[in-house]
Amino acid sequence: MLTIEQIISTLNIDNDSIFPREALEHAVLQKEVITPALLTIIDTITEDPELLESNPAFIYALYLLAQFREARAYPVIARYFRELGLEDEALDPTGDTVTEDLNSILASVCQGDLSLIKQLIEDQSVNEYVRTAALGALIILYNTDQLSRESLVSYMGGLLEHCLKQEEDPFFVATLVCNACSIYPRELYLLLDECFQQDLVYEEVISKAHLEDYMKMDKATVLAELKENRQYQLINNVITEMAWWSCFHPKANADFEHDSTGNVGRNDPCFCGSGKKYKKCCLQ
């Protein structure tokens, strides 16, 4: 059995082409003992984000604490991502964590306390991708039967009403529409339609036709698809959540890029699924 010191040391090795499976497995087996060390890691990086470059264990700590459902990590994680900054480059130190799994991490550690998630959603000074992830956390809580439909629809309705009255980022409005569609948009349709009528939605993310397609679907079908959607699940197994990452499979990733980039324009959504434009993602 690896010691806590050995686990942390392994996770801090700056080699993102080798997946530290053994260290993570031993961390899970020693949940109670390693949790204080993981909390110290994320607290240290939150206090001084510049230390992240030399402490890659931060990323693994986020996922482990999420799997552990560690409520003490919730305010620290929320603070770190709240203070990232608005520019796209602010996401770079944590790789694809924000666009891929921050929603799941927040949902996994909040333990029913929605206050910090809602603060992230509503604060326009927060990075748009972080706000989107926080909104996705609410969908996950609904999808895992921890948040009632009535509460979620009421909250999303309030967000849409705010968007109709106050200037809001079109990308955020678009992601709000997307998330409404994912839970079946019937109750929110009039507000969603008005957002399109007022040209508030960034339609490269979702179009009015897409909304109408969802309206034609059966509610049970939409919700069944949501139940199976990997993007709307809690963090249950750090190994399966991280082992597939492209950085741990450099040859496969190189082959994929070779096959994919030929038809991707600079301003098109990046083929990697980050949500960014190609020129601001894998083209760099």
Instruction: Render pLDDT for 199-243 as a digit per residue (tens, 0 to 9).
Output: 999 999 999 999 999 999 999 999 999 999 999 999 999 999 999
| pLDDT exceeds 90 at position 275 | no
Residues 6+ apart with CB under 8 A from 168: 124, 162, 200
SS3 content of the chain, % helix, strand, coil (to 5): 70, 0, 30
Report the amino acid identity of residue 87: E
User: What average pLDDT does range 137-165 have in this prediction?
Assistant: 98
The number of angstroms, rounded, from the C-alpha of 40 to the middle of its chain's C-alpha atoms is 22
Confidence of residue 33 (pLDDT cuts 50, 70, 90): very high
Report the amino acid identity of residue 123: D
Which residue has better confidence, 110 or 279? 110
Residue-level pLDDT at 160: 98
Which residue has better confidence, 257 or 238? 238
| pLDDT exceeds 70 at position 273 | no
Question: Among the listed ranges 172-176, 188-192, 253-257, which one has the minimum average pLDDT value?
Answer: 253-257
Q: What is the CA radius of gyration of the chain?
A: 19
Which residue has better confidence, 245 or 181? 181
Structural contact between residues 215 and 183, judged by C-beta atoms closer than 8 angstroms? no
Q: Which of 87, 41, 140 is nearest to 276 (CA)?
A: 87
Bridge partners (DSSP) of residue 277 are: 269
Quickly list H helices, 144-283: 149-165, 170-182, 189-197, 208-216, 219-228, 238-242, 250-260
Task: Find the angle CA(225)-CA(95)-CA(273) to the nearest 5 degrees.
Answer: 40
Q: Which of 122, 130, 129, 149 is nearest to 222 (CA)?
A: 149
Residue-level pLDDT at 116: 98
Residue-level pLDDT at 267: 47
Confidence of residue 247 (pLDDT cuts 50, 70, 90): confident
Residue 254, exposed/middle/buried by CB under 10 A (0-12, 13-18, 19+)? exposed
Digit-coded pLDDT (tens) for 102-119: 999 999 999 999 999 999
Q: Which of 127, 147, 128 is nearest to 137 (CA)?
A: 147
Digit-coded pLDDT (tens) for 47-83: 999 999 999 999 999 999 999 999 999 999 999 999 9
Query: What tokens does 277 get?
Result: 């434009």
Residue-level pLDDT at 118: 98
Digit-coded pLDDT (tens) for 195-210: 999 999 999 999 999 9
The b-or-e profile of 48-75 (16+ CB within 10 A means b, else e) is ebeebeebbbbbbbbbbbbbbebebbbb
Percent of the chain at pLDDT > 90 equals 81
Structural contact between residues 185 and 215, judged by C-beta atoms closer than 8 angstroms? yes
